[in-house]
Amino acid sequence: MATTENIEPHTASVVRRSSGNYLKLAVGIATVLAALLADTGILMAIGLGLFGYSFVWFVDATGREIAIAPVVSLIATAQWIVGPYFAYYQDAVTLKYRMYVDEETYLLFVVPSLFLFVFFMRAISPVIEISQIRNFILNTTVLNSRNIYYIFLIGVASQFLATDASPSLKFILFLTSQFTFIASIYMLVLKMQFRWICISISFILLFMLSIEYSVFHVLLLWSALIASYICSDLRIGFLSKISIFLLGILLVVHLQAAKAEYRLRVLQDPANANLSTLVDTMIENSFLQNSEFDYQQSESARLNARLNQGWIISAVMAYVPNAREFEEGSTIVDAVADSLLPRFLHDKKSVSVSENFERYTGLRVSDNTSFGISVIGESWVNFGYYGIVFMGFFGAFYASILRTAVTISRKFPTAIFWIPLIFLQATKAETETVVVLNHIVKSGALVAMFYFFAYKVLKWRI
């Protein structure tokens, strides 16, 4: 049983100052210098340095703290900088998935935007150490392990119910289905007896769902978000974490290489939606299987199309304001209104993700494909180069949510376990403002209502 004594509340803190080591900065500077020595332009070198900084930040934070800000920073720098680097310098492009503006034009906007975005997240976000969370929970609340297993079962049931649910219920059931991971976080931090069984079930269920619908991004996001708790429990060292992450990147590369063909096979024959077909497709599409130069060139272009979100941003920059005027903040205002105001006060629009893509790039996509222009693309659509300042505000916004969660945890200590659910969509670099805000607001409201129901009706202490 993970039941604790009720000790005098608020004698512990989950927030600690940053360790103050200079490794992240040193790696960032070293990456810039290495890129310059390889004849990379100075703006691209700075962007790659920011990626190097973010990578070490993520590795260092994983296993020690709730690594939300490092995950967001790593994904954004990888997709907005590293992907465009391969496009500009390695010619890893295809006919459509190419950069639509020159390197200088793209980087003059993206590098300062990304720098401010990461800087404000880094400067304002609290450092929430996992070891301190455990002490904090043990010193401030009484928990009954049975209730945590109930939360886990709610998640399992929701995943099965979501299959045949109406569209209006699907999103709510999607959120509650993620309770399996939230319960697993409880168990990992509090070192409960069956934690490894529950975390394994959580990933197996999500993996099966991903195979069935050929959608793997939620699986990858949870892998990144929950890695810190797993590494903390296993006490994995820095070098071991790097090795694991490199193996993970290799696996993701193979998955991305096979994803398009796997989806085609499943579309042609739904009975092929199984692990065997996925493994066969990954082996057949592995870049290790063929060493011919032309094959590697086309393969690298296809892989980079998955990594590189910069091509969409560049397409936006080429289209706005040349073919369409700046929106001057209107899409941001609409996103806030859609997220915060009830339907009777604001006429909410039902907009598909690809609608903004087509509207602000002038490109067309097939019905079974969806592209988002991302927050940074939307900042250009509204403000042009002034969008650099907006990205700084957006980084501060993310950091403020983390600080708000810490403040709420003073009254409800375990609320801090629910942070990954609230940030699940926010970690995706291609997600637009309306999707980010909708997810944060609705998931936050769901967590608040669940706490109220658990405390007032069920009399649970969760």
pLDDT for residue 12: 46
pLDDT digits (tens, 9 = 90+) for 214-239: 677 888 889 988 999 999 999 998 88
What is the radius of gyration, based on Cα positions, of the chain? 22
Question: Are residues 10 and 140 in contact, defined by beta-carbon separation less than 8 angstroms?
Answer: yes
pLDDT for residue 300: 64
Share of the chain above pLDDT 90, in %: 49
Residue 175, CB-side half-sphere exposure with 13 Å CA sphere: 23
What does the DSSP assignment read for 65-120? B--HHHHHHHHHHIIIIIHHHHHHHS----SSSS-SS-HHHHHHHHHHHHHHHHHH
Place of tokens 């079930």: 201
Buried b (16+ CB within 10 A) or exposed e, 33-55: eebbeeebbebbbbbbbbbbbbb
Q: Give the pLDDT mean for 419-440.
A: 89
Question: Are residues 253 and 285 in contact, defined by beta-carbon separation less than 8 angstroms?
Answer: no
Q: Give the pLDDT mean for 393-415.
A: 91
pLDDT digits (tens, 9 = 90+) for 347-360: 555 445 568 888 99
Q: Give the pLDDT mean for 89-113.
A: 90
Q: Token pair of 384, please?
A: 């042009």
Q: For 9-23, 83-97, 139-153, which range has the lowest pLDDT when averaged over its residues? A: 9-23
pLDDT digits (tens, 9 = 90+) for 241-287: 988 888 887 777 777 667 767 777 777 777 767 777 777 776 766 65
Residue 337 has pLDDT above 50, yes or no: yes
Beta bridge partners of 129: 65
Beta bridge partners of 65: 129
d(CA 326, CA 243): 45
Q: Give the pLDDT mean for 35-52.
A: 96
Residue 366: φ, ψ to 5°: -75, 165
Residue 57 has pLDDT above 70, yes or no: yes
Q: Token pair of 443, please?
A: 């998931």
Give the DSSP H or E segment for 326: none
Residue 242, CB-side half-sphere exposure with 13 Å CA sphere: 7
Q: How far is CA 221 from CA 37, 72, 74, 205, 428, in A?
A: 34, 10, 12, 15, 8
pLDDT digits (tens, 9 = 90+) for 159-200: 888 877 787 788 899 999 999 999 999 999 989 989 999 999
Question: Are residues 80 and 429 in contact, defined by beta-carbon separation less than 8 angstroms?
Answer: yes
pLDDT for residue 13: 56
Listed residue (344, 320, 342, 315) closest to 330, CA to CA = 320
Residue 362 has pLDDT above 80, yes or no: yes
pLDDT, averaged across the chain: 84
pLDDT digits (tens, 9 = 90+) for 142-161: 788 899 999 999 999 998 88
Q: What is the pTM of this model?
A: 0.86
* Interacting residues of 300 by C-beta distance below 8 A, sequence separation 6+: 86, 90, 92, 287
Listed residue (127, 111, 102, 131) closest to 53, CA to CA = 111
Q: Beta-carbon neighbour count of residue 258 at 10 Å?
A: 21
pLDDT for residue 354: 67
